[in-house]
Structure 1
Amino acid sequence: MDLDLRKLRYFVAVAEELHFGRAAERLHIAQPVLSRQIRSLEDDLGAEVFDRNRRGTLLTPAGEQLLKDAVPLLASAQALLRRVKTAAQGTPTLTIGFMPGITVTPAMVVFTGRHPTVNVRLLRTSWDDQVEVLLDGRADVSVVRLPINPQGLTVLPLFKEPRVVMLPAGHRLADRTSVSVADLAPEHLLQDPDAVPEWRDIAEELREGRRSEVPVIHQVEEKLELVAAGTGIAVLPLSTANFYTRPDVVPLPVDDIGPNEVALAWVTSRRAPLIDDFAAAAEETLGNR
């Protein structure tokens, strides 16, 4: 039995929404069509992947396993298509992802000096997609900020840099030369608490384990707008803070917070000499600086 990738895409949409109507809207197909495709997939697999009852739509154990395997499989298929299309253009190409605030120019200069005929492209990433762009083939290699899920990836550490907290100019702590994590614990953090575990642990203890709602923010500029408006605080790597300076936001060192680690990452299964050569250039120019 050959898996139908289209049915897998439909399954992932329902599994992520846990609602056939919303998934059908997301896929731009009629709900009865989606339901038939899911039943067909279950027939192919010989297992039910959803438990449909009065409580709603839930994943079965088989569905949970399928979701775990389907997401990277679909990303790999998308990556394959992208690489084939790029190869068909006839010009060797290397796409490099990078997080805001990180300068990749030194590595690019060394790499292009060694490979002058390679078309080098840059792709700006975010906390949300810095791994995704590698898995789905949008980038061949990427300069990432840890922590990331390293499954299926080769991760080459490059350097560490301090992190600072971004406060609105009129904040009660803005006139300090530095602050501690305890000083920041009562504040509303405008990012995933797991990205700042030092803050998370103290803040959850103060709130007796309850987490405050984290807004969905995709860009640094948006995050700083919210900081300036007094909505909350953000912890950023120093290079990112220096890149996005503005008069209504104050960056302050945090005495007891760990540094941000920067690394180079690529899909382990890729066998590409250009990736190895760029990794060597990045380690030579960016590593341990």
Structure 2
Amino acid sequence: MTHADVDLRKLRYFVAVAEELNFGRAAQRLHIAQPVLSRQIQALERELDAQLFVRDKRRTRLTPAGEQLVADAELVLAGAEALRRRVAQAASAAGTFTVGFMPGLTVTGPVRAFGDAHPGLTVEVLRTSWNDQVSVLHDGRADVGYVRLPIDAAGLEVRPLFSERRMAVVGTGHRLAGRTSVNIADLADEHLLQHPDTVPEWGQVARETRGRRETPPPEMRSVEEKLEHVAAGRGISILPESTATYYQRPDVAYVPIADIPPGQVALAWVAARRDPLIAGFAALAVTMR
């Protein structure tokens, strides 16, 4: 086993402890003995010349150095997984190019044209979400991705494609249904059924979060789930126009929001990759946006 192998293993051990903030639970999750885990973390701290955790009888918490390593470890481990995927693909001699895309975006044209231009290549598509539209690029599940901004662009090349209006999604019996447009302030008394980070303008007007810190609502697993909650009168959602157009249904209404910037769609890929296929697809995506 090489030194690099050992470092990656220690990094995975570190991430498990950082997520659990409990050495016992992390050891169970990793299927190793707790003393072994403790020794591996201590060895990693010596290699990095930094203390990563503070432990006392009541709890385990990250130091500032540990918090920084958490932020960096995700990219390192995802890069290692992407490398494994690409090597396995090359070994199988099965040329595959995967395009990620967010709900509501139609990528049929570019994918078909790219496949026609590379007849020996299998071009696949992968539906993503707000939770994984970036991680699928870092870990190699997708070669390129049609993403909705904002994203964490660290380590990525991002090429803007187009913008589109954002729509308030309300039940058909809602007071705002049938309006030709609304302002973001008109929604101030509503309950937002998505993570507020996906709608930065929401935090400036929302009364449900004013004056107190609230735990963000649980992330909906799909657009369909959001629409079910909207139709049931449990709150509102804010979606890009293409998503709203794609997911038409009779029990919800879509109203343009007039005073917030349009949503941005871009093509993204890992910047360190110099694959001519990626460059070729990016050029095609720009011409067919």
TM-score by length of 1: 0.91
- Deviation per CA, 1:130-179, whole angstroms, max 9, x where unpaired? 00000111101001001111111110100111111111222222232322
> 1:43 offset after TM fit, Å?
4.0
How many equivalent residue pairs? 286
Matched, 1:240 2:246: no
Structure 1 partner of 2:54: 51
Structure 2 partner of 1:110: 113
Instruction: Tell me, yes or no, if the aligned pair for 1:204 and 1:210 is still in contact at 8 Å.
Output: no
Structure 1 partner of 2:253: 250
Matched, 1:130 2:124: no
Letter in 1 for 2:130: W
> 1:216 offset after TM fit, Å?
2.2
Structure 1 partner of 2:222: 219
Instruction: Tell me, yes or no, if the aligned pair for 2:149 and 2:263 is still in contact at 8 Å.
Output: yes
> 1:44 offset after TM fit, Å?
3.9
> 1:77 offset after TM fit, Å?
0.3
Unpaired segments of 5 or more residues in structure 1?
Answer: none
When residues 48 and 83 of structure 1 are mapped into structure 2, their CA distance, relative to the original with a 3 A threshold, is: same
Structure 2 partner of 1:89: 92
RMSD: 2.0
> 1:209 offset after TM fit, Å?
5.8
> 1:34 offset after TM fit, Å?
3.1
Distance 2:215 2:185 in 1: 17
Instruction: Tell me, yes or no, if the aligned pair for 1:204 and 1:211 is still in contact at 8 Å.
Output: no
Letter in 2 for 1:216: E
- What are the within-5 Å matches in structure 2 for residues 267-282 of structure 1? 267-282=270-285
> 1:254 offset after TM fit, Å?
1.2
Distance 1:107 1:218 in 2: 27
Letter in 2 for 1:89: S
TM-score by length of 2: 0.91
Structure 2 partner of 1:195: 198
When residues 259 and 93 of structure 1 are mapped into structure 2, their CA distance, relative to the original with a 3 A threshold, is: same
Structure 1 partner of 2:175: 172
Letter in 2 for 1:181: I
Of 235-244 and 30-39, more deviation after overlay is shown by 30-39
- Deviation per CA, 1:216-240, whole angstroms, max 9, x where unpaired? 2221111111112222111001111
Letter in 1 for 2:248: T
Distance 2:194 2:273 in 1: 32
Letter in 2 for 1:215: P
Distance 2:189 2:26 in 1: 38
When residues 186 and 54 of structure 1 are mapped into structure 2, their CA distance, relative to the original with a 3 A threshold, is: farther
Instruction: Tell me, yes or no, if the aligned pair for 1:50 and 1:58 is still in contact at 8 Å.
Output: yes
Distance 2:158 2:101 in 1: 14
Unpaired segments of 5 or more residues in structure 2?
Answer: none
Distance 2:172 2:16 in 1: 43
Letter in 2 for 1:259: P
**Local SS of the residue matching 1:236:** strand
Of 252-261 and 56-65, more deviation after overlay is shown by 56-65
Structure 1 partner of 2:65: 62
Letter in 1 for 2:224: E
Matched, 1:182 2:182: no
> 1:46 offset after TM fit, Å?
4.0
> 1:120 offset after TM fit, Å?
0.4
Letter in 2 for 1:65: Q
When residues 27 and 171 of structure 1 are mapped into structure 2, their CA distance, relative to the original with a 3 A threshold, is: farther
Distance 1:213 1:65 in 2: 23
Structure 2 partner of 1:152: 155
Aligned match for 1:77, one of 73, 76, 80: 80
- Deviation per CA, 1:226-281, whole angstroms, max 9, x where unpaired? 11222211100111111112222111111212211100000010010000110111
